Amino acid sequence: MTAQDPANAPASAPRILVVGSGAVGGFYGAKLAEAGAEVSLLCRSDFDVVRTQGLHIDDLGKPRQFIPHRVINDIADYPGWPDYMLVALKALPEIDVATMVAPKMGPTTTILLIQNGIETEIPLAEAFPDNELLSALAFICVSRTAPGCIARTDYGRLAMGRYPNGVSERAQTLGKLFEAAGVPCAVTDNVARARWRKLVWNAPFNPISVLSGGSDTLQMLEHTPTEKLIEAVMWEVLAIAEAAGCPLKPEVVAKNLADTRKMVPYKTSMLLDFEAGRPLEVEAILGNALRRAEALGIAAPHMASLHGLLSLLDANNRR
């Protein structure tokens, strides 16, 4: 048995510190605690509420309460260092994750980064070359509904792998913990490809939902010029991914379009962020992929158009 085996709890329960305890971090932290891990939260905005009442989770209609092992608002207050540093912050250029977690990165601390976008792992990999870095994608509809309250309305699965590639014992351990708590977790040996695969959807739908004046998925697909734009962006993502060494099957384009048409029309997470006046993940979703495209000599004029518009809109929105 390893120190990370949940069957060994509480003495050998893995110690997890969740950094960025918004909806995503709070939800997955709660799940890991259910599976027997010792989960602490680093909270900023909702610190007082969460410290006294824990997190209230409306999980697909079922109410749950999560009382974290510790709730802190200064990372220095965490004793020792965690086995896992679960980072679920928005992927924004102004958030320096490496500096934020550095005080509690012990020699055996593994980072679990749950974020959208491409190549957001790089600053962490550079800052902590001797620590294991697990990269994960969350397929989930979850949002903060009030201070200390979050609601999951759909999905929940994770895809996870070691960065830049491969599978490790720690990835397997964490995957089993998530599965034990009812969270499907696909451990992959090529998380970079999984990220490009998810970008096929994110790169068109998230920006276009905002730029077209607040459209849901069905409005975007039913308006022919926009549908064509969505498909054109998807092909550009495939071309960049292939040049970057992560070829995807061409069928993913048709599959993404067909699957989205089948779903109840909904607002993308970027549109919800925009409507709430929050910063947008422009660089993680478009900018990083475009820089990769430029370095590889791949043309992506539709994505460049979205980036030119969305980056200025985001700048205007922050003013």
Q: How far is the CB of 256 from its own copies (least distance, A)?
A: 17
Q: How far is the CB of 276 from its own copies (least distance, A)?
A: 15
In the complex with its own copies, the residue whose CB is nearer, 12 or 311, is 311
Q: Is residue 88 at the binding interface for its own copies, with CB under 8 A as the rule?
A: no
* Residue list 192-231, contact with its own copies (CB under 8 A): 208, 211-215, 219-220, 223, 225-226, 228-229
Two structure tokens written together for 85 = 């540093």
Q: Is residue 313 at the binding interface for its own copies, with CB under 8 A as the rule?
A: yes
Two structure tokens written together for 165 = 């590639």
In the complex with its own copies, the residue whose CB is nearer, 215 or 269, is 215
Q: Is residue 315 at the binding interface for its own copies, with CB under 8 A as the rule?
A: yes
Q: Is residue 305 at the binding interface for its own copies, with CB under 8 A as the rule?
A: yes
Q: Is residue 105 at the binding interface for its own copies, with CB under 8 A as the rule?
A: no
Two structure tokens written together for 191 = 């998380």
In the complex with its own copies, the residue whose CB is nearer, 8 or 212, is 212
In the complex with its own copies, the residue whose CB is nearer, 192 or 208, is 208
Instruction: Tell me the C-alpha distance between 33 and 87, whole Å.
Output: 16
In the complex with its own copies, the residue whose CB is nearer, 254 or 315, is 315
Q: How far is the CB of 126 from its own copies (least distance, A)?
A: 25
Instruction: Tell me the C-alpha distance between 43 and 50, whole Å.
Output: 8
Instruction: Tell me the C-alpha distance between 319 and 237, whole Å.
Output: 30
Instruction: Tell me the C-alpha distance between 16 and 111, whole Å.
Output: 10
Q: Is residue 312 at the binding interface for its own copies, with CB under 8 A as the rule?
A: yes
Q: Which residues pair with 144 in a beta bridge?
A: 150
CB 230, CB 207: distance < 8 Å? no
Q: Is residue 232 at the binding interface for its own copies, with CB under 8 A as the rule?
A: yes
Q: Which residues pair with 71 in a beta bridge?
A: 41
Q: How far is the CB of 148 from its own copies (least distance, A)?
A: 32
Q: How far is the CB of 96 from its own copies (least distance, A)?
A: 22
Q: How far is CA 316 from CA 59, 65, 168, 279, 311, in A?
A: 35, 38, 43, 10, 9
In the complex with its own copies, the residue whose CB is nearer, 157 or 261, is 261
Does an H or E element contain 38, and which?
strand 38-42
Phi/psi for 51 (5° steps) reads -65, -40
